[in-house]
Amino acid sequence: MNNLLVDIGNSSMKYSFAHSLRLGTIGHYSGQGVLNHLIEAIAQKRVESIAISSVRNFPKGYFAPLKKFSKSLILVEEELNMPHLANYRSPETLGADRVMGTLAAIALFPKRDLILFDFGTALTVDLIDFERHFVGGNISPGFDSRFEILHSSTGLLPRVTGGDSLKPYGTSTQEAIENGVALSLLYEVEGYLREYPTHLPIFTGGDAIYFAKKMKSTIFVVYNLVLMGLAHLAIDYANKK
């Protein structure tokens, strides 16, 4: 079974032509012409399903032109009747990336209490119990977003990015921002780990490695977790037909 899996985040898109659960080469795109790029990528190909997770607000029917390239077009926001969301009070408000990330985590680590950290534009923290149910989670600004907020919300603080090394405190304004932002996220994550010591921690997202290297405890880093969740969704969708 060959499927096209598409993960559209706030700042970029990742996609992969997958055979069953095995992801192929990961494609990346950061422009505004998402639909045209996907049409070019899939031209002259035929896939069983196209599964799309998006956190952006595209117009209704935006992806409809992709239907001619596959037997099924699956949009996560329309497929929320999933067993692992049964105990969550408002699944329709969940971001598609969180839904797919938790679905993949459950498949990878069954019968475990899990805590999933997705380091992207936002930091999302999601809890899953050993009965494979999504319990809930929290959202706060991500690594780069915190730098941007400091710069855009003040008159004098410069726009900086994260440094490779951390110090207890900065001896310049740039170091103070670098350390303050990175440590704020690090302490936030460590606080969750202290609160949920029996949960297996999983890091994913663009800044996962940066923070995993700075943790004292053992962390599982899983790349392309949303795409993996989409792979499971496409297979489950085909089996139900």
Tokens 């690594």 map to which residue?
143
181 conformational bin, left if phi > 0, alpha if psi -120 to 50, beta if neither? alpha
CB distance 1 to 48 below 8 Å: yes
H helix or E strand, kind and range, residue 116: strand 114-119
Tokens 């780069």 map to which residue?
144
Q: Which residues, at least 6 apart from 212, have a Cβ–Cβ distance to it below 8 Å?
A: 203, 219, 221
CB atoms within 10 A of CB 20: 13
Choosing from 97, 118, 126, 207, the catalytic residue is 97
Q: Which residues pair with 206 in a beta bridge?
A: none
List b or e across 132-146, with b for residues whose CB sees 16 or more CB atoms inside 10 angstroms.
Answer: bbbbebeeebbbbbb
CA 48 vs CA 129, 186, 192: distances in Å = 32, 42, 40
The question of whether 97 is a catalytic residue gets the answer yes
- What are 135's two structure tokens? 């319990």
* Active-site amino acid positions: 97
